Amino acid sequence: MSNKAPFITFEGGEGSGKTTQIRLLKTWLEDKGKYVTTTREPGGTVGAEAIRDLIVQKRDNQWDAETDALLLMAARRDHLVHLIWPSLEQGHWVLSDRFVESTYAYQCFGRDLPLEKARELYRFIAGDFKPDLTFILDIDPRDGLDRALTGKHRNRNEERFENFDFSFHENLRAGYHELAKQEPQRFIIIDAAPDCEHVQAQLQAAIEKRFSL
């Protein structure tokens, strides 16, 4: 399937600032006359948000990486069918705060799910559909966790993954770098440590170049 508009995903560890950057990009693209749908994973549709509550809430669940991956893929399928694909079909740019690379980073590199198994699940729900461009907002997990757990956007109900041990966060960061190495034409790594305006300027410049705006 070739999209009528770009599908751009934003990835990164905790506290990398994706949500704020996406909000700013939406306004910037709309000022250029584009229709823009912003969304997030897990979530984005009623069904997928219900699954999100099960996955991200800090409760005493003992789910392993396989169980998480199955729930995440179910949420992702609903998100694709009811929001992402119809929006692209209407010619809307779609900016998603996380997508399948979060499963590869968190459940595979961060925990122990084999990458090939997660890729098989993804093929089952999405075929060969992929984002046109994936940004990784890269940040040292020490700084990211500090931002996530003390910042004004803190959501205490949704801290299941923040509470995994530190090596989990280091491994998922390394995983994102490995994924980018495997598909350098699709991924762009952005240093998320500088201030918000600086990061936004980098994102805008990359989008202008990639989509000839």
Query: By the criterion CB under 6 A, which residues form the site for ligand TMP?
Result: 41-42, 56, 72, 97-98, 102-103, 106-107, 161
- 3-state DSSP of 46-59: HHHHHHHHHHHCCC
> Whose Cβ is closer to ligand TMP: residue 161's or residue 176's?
161
Classify 25 as helix, strand or coil: helix
Task: Report the DSSP pairing between strands 36-40 and 187-191.
Answer: unpaired
Smallest gap from residue 87 Cβ to ligand TMP (A): 18
> Whose Cβ is closer to ligand TMP: residue 74's or residue 193's?
74
> Whose Cβ is closer to ligand TMP: residue 14's or residue 202's?
14
Buried b or exposed e, range 123-159, using 16+ CB within 10 angstroms: eebbeebbbbbbbbbbbebeebbebbeeeeeeeeeeb
> In angstroms, rounded to a whole number, what is the distance separating the alpha carbons of residues 96 and 76?
11
Smallest gap from residue 153 Cβ to ligand TMP (A): 9
Smallest gap from residue 33 Cβ to ligand TMP (A): 29
> Whose Cβ is closer to ligand TMP: residue 6's or residue 13's?
13
Q: How far is CA 72 from CA 13, 43, 53, 55, 123, in A?
A: 17, 9, 11, 8, 14
> Whose Cβ is closer to ligand TMP: residue 68's or residue 207's?
68
Smallest gap from residue 212 Cβ to ligand TMP (A): 30
Query: Are the C-beta atoms of 186 and 210 separated by less than 8 Å?
Result: no
Smallest gap from residue 129 Cβ to ligand TMP (A): 16
> Whose Cβ is closer to ligand TMP: residue 93's or residue 122's?
122
Strand partners, 37: 94
Which tokens in the block code for residue 82? 């009811």
In this structure, what is the dihedral angle of CA atoms 160, 96, 212, 3, given to the nearest 10 degrees?
140
Smallest gap from residue 161 Cβ to ligand TMP (A): 3
